[in-house]
Structure formats: structure tokens, C-alpha cells
Amino acid sequence: MDENTYQAYEEEIQALEEEIRLLTEKYEEMRQESTSYSDEEILQSIKSFQRETQGETKGHESPSDLTAQLESLETDLSFFMTLTGFEFTSYSKKTVEKTKNRTVQKYRLAGKCHSLSFQLEFQLTEMQNNEKVSAVVSDLSIIMESREDSDVSKFVSSTEEHGSLLTFFRSISTYAEWYEHRRRTFLHFKAKYPDIVTVPEGLLGDFIILRSPKVPGFELMIVWKIHLDEEGTTTPVLDLLPKVPEQVLEQRMTSVERIPSSFRSALRLFGIEAAIENLIKVLGS
């Protein structure tokens, strides 16, 4: 093999090792939030990365070996996407300053967590003092498609102010999981009970309507809000609002007034899906 070809392979291998390192760093930031995989599976994946970065690729000289390595990397990346819910669609890094003890780099990331898209831009300053390395995030800017939600807007502003990337990824992961869970739940009941359940604002809205097939004008609105506070804590809040024809209201005022409190009790006892399911069955009986 001539020297130029060998050099080209060496450069490609170095690029792959750098990509593996970056993916490992992203994984370490989000690892503690995972509950979908066992510790053994996570350790196996970490060991796989360690093997890649400890020189296994140094002896690869053929294109087929490099192709196999890329396929392995794609498999690991797919694992991390499933593990965390995050998918990164673009990434760039620019070195702004570099001295013996100080490195300043500017990062840009874009991606999504489940169905929520986001863009990040921040500056990372790494300083080395003897053998100790410290890193500080500054100039953090976050763009999210759901920022028109006042809760999300306040959380984003607070996170930008404190420059906390870990808080952002941890909190958005939980928020997006609830967001996706609500969407799937609405879709399930709409498909299962099309004559009773309607979704006026679509599956990404925050309420559904249950219409009685036997009492014209009798409706129940299930409101499902997902609150995200400035500290990043996600709280689902559900309530029920009845819409009752006047003649029914006059006859059964006491019974109608008890519907919201009964629904809240069912939520505590049976959970969201079972409470909605029971409500639909009662409405349709």
C-alpha cells in the first residue's frame, strides 16, 4: 500500500474515532435518565466504544474493514437514539481560541426528542490547571418549536440564563416523553371509539371531546396539560369539563356536578388510560 493511501485511511480512522468520542460524551450526559435498558446492556455498549477507541481500527487497511466499522457505529448510534429519545440531525464545532491551558469552542446542534425539535448554540471554555480540567458553558441559545407554550418559554429562558445543558437534555427528555404519551393516548381512543371521541385541535392539542351517542348535546371535555416549570420538572395535569343540555342539567344537577371529581378520583386510582377508558364506556352505555 502506498503512503498516500495509507495516510487517507489513517485520517478517516481518526475522524471516526473523534465521532465516537463525541457520541460517548453525549451519552454520558443522558445516561442517568435512562430506564429502558439494564445496567448490563449499558455497560456492554460502553465497552464496545472502549474497544473502538483503544486501537482496534489501527490495523484496518481495507475499505471493507472501514465499512464494517461504520455499520457498527450506526448500530450503536441507533441504540443511543432509542435509549434517550434524542436524534441529532446536525452538528458543528468551531475553535474560537486555543492556548496551552485554555480552549474555547463554539458548538451548534440541531435535533429532536421524540416529536419535539430543538436547536442549540453555545460556547464551551475548557481550562486545564495541572491535571485538572474544568469546563464552563456560556452564551447558551435554545430554539424550540413549542416555545410559544408559556411554560416551555420560561424553562428555556431560565436554562439559557444558567447555561445548564444537562438540565435542558434531562428535562426535555421527560417533557417530550409525556408529550408523546399524550399524543399516542389520544390516537388510541380516537381509533378505538370513533363515534364518541373527537380531537378538535388534532393529536398535538391538549384536549379531547367525548360525545354521548344517546344524549344529544351531552359532551365531556378531557383537558390534559403538561406543565414544565423553570427548574425543569414536568407535571401532567388532567381535568374534566362537562357540557350538559339544559334539560338534563335541571334534572340531574347533583350528578353532573360530581363528574369532574369522580374523574379525578379515577385518575388517582387507575391511571390515565384506565380512567379515560372507563369514562368512555359509561358514556356509551
Q: Which residue has the higher pLDDT, 86 or 274?
A: 274
What's the pLDDT tens digit per position in 42-99? 556 556 655 655 555 455 456 677 777 777 777 776 776 766 778 888 889 898 888 8
> Residue 39, Cβ neighbours under 10 Å: how many?
8
pLDDT at 150: 83
Q: 132-144 and 86-98 as β-strands: parallel, antiparallel, unpaired?
A: unpaired
Nine cell digits for residue 49:
466504544
End-to-end Cα separation, the chain, in angstroms: 79
What's the pLDDT tens digit per position in 164-180? 888 898 899 899 999 89
Angle, CA of 271, 243 and 200, to the nearest 5°: 70
Highest mean pLDDT of the ranges 95-104, 162-171, 177-186, 248-257: 177-186
Separation between Cα atoms, residue 99 and residue 248, nearest integer Å? 78
pTM for the predicted model, two decimal places: 0.67
Separation between Cα atoms, residue 2 and residue 4, nearest integer Å? 6
Residue 174 φ/ψ, nearest 5 degrees: -65, -45
Break the chain into its structural domains and give their ranges.
Answer: 181-284
Residue bearing cell 334539560: 247
Separation between Cα atoms, residue 93 and residue 22, nearest integer Å? 11
